[in-house]
Amino acid sequence: MPLVKPFTGILPAMQLPYRDDLSIDEAELRRFARWLAGHKGIGGLVTNGHTGEVFALSPRERAEVTRIVADEVRGQVPVISGICCEGVAEAVEHAQMAEEAGAQGLLVMPPHYWLRFGMQPRHVVDHFTAIAKAVGINLIVHIYPSWTKAAYSSELLAELACIPGVTTMKIGTREMSKYDRDLAAVRAANPAVTMLTCHDEYLLTSMVQGVDGALVGFASFIPETIVELYQAVCDGDLRRAQAIQARINPLKEVVYASGEPSGDAHARMKTAMVLAGRLRSNLTRPPVTAPAGAMLDRIRAAVAQARLAPALETVAVS
3-state secondary structure of 71: helix
pLDDT band at 201 (very low <50, low <70, confident <90, very high): very high
- What span, in angstroms and rounded, lies between the C-alpha atoms of 239 and 36? 27
Range 278-304 average pLDDT: 96
| pLDDT exceeds 80 at position 315 | no
pLDDT band at 103 (very low <50, low <70, confident <90, very high): very high
What pLDDT, in 10s, does the model give residues 30-89?
999 999 999 999 999 999 999 999 999 999 999 999 999 999 999 999 999 999 999 999
pLDDT of amino acid 313: 58
CB 84 within 8 A of CB 142: no
pLDDT of amino acid 106: 98
Range 164-182 average pLDDT: 96
Mean pLDDT across the chain = 95
Instruction: Answer whether the bond into residue 2 is a cis peptide, omega within 30°.
Output: no
pLDDT band at 263 (very low <50, low <70, confident <90, very high): confident
Handedness of CA 248, 253, 255, 258 (dihedral sign): positive
Range 162-177 average pLDDT: 96
Distances (CA, A) of 80 to 27, 150, 179, 309: 20, 22, 24, 27
β-pairing, 45-47 with 79-83? parallel
What pLDDT, in 10s, does the model give residues 105-160?
999 999 999 999 999 999 999 999 999 999 999 999 999 999 999 999 999 999 99
10 burial (CB, 10 Å; 0-12 / 13-18 / 19+) is: buried
Please give the single-letter amino acid code of residue 7. Answer: F
Range 212-241 average pLDDT: 98
| pLDDT exceeds 70 at position 182 | yes
Domains and CATH numbers, the chain: 9-223 (3.20.20.70)
Range 206-235 average pLDDT: 98
Q: What are 169's strand-pairing partners? A: 141, 195
pLDDT of amino acid 4: 82
| pLDDT exceeds 60 at position 164 | yes
Buried b (16+ CB within 10 A) or exposed e, 47-71: bbbbbbbbebbeeebbbbbbbbbbe
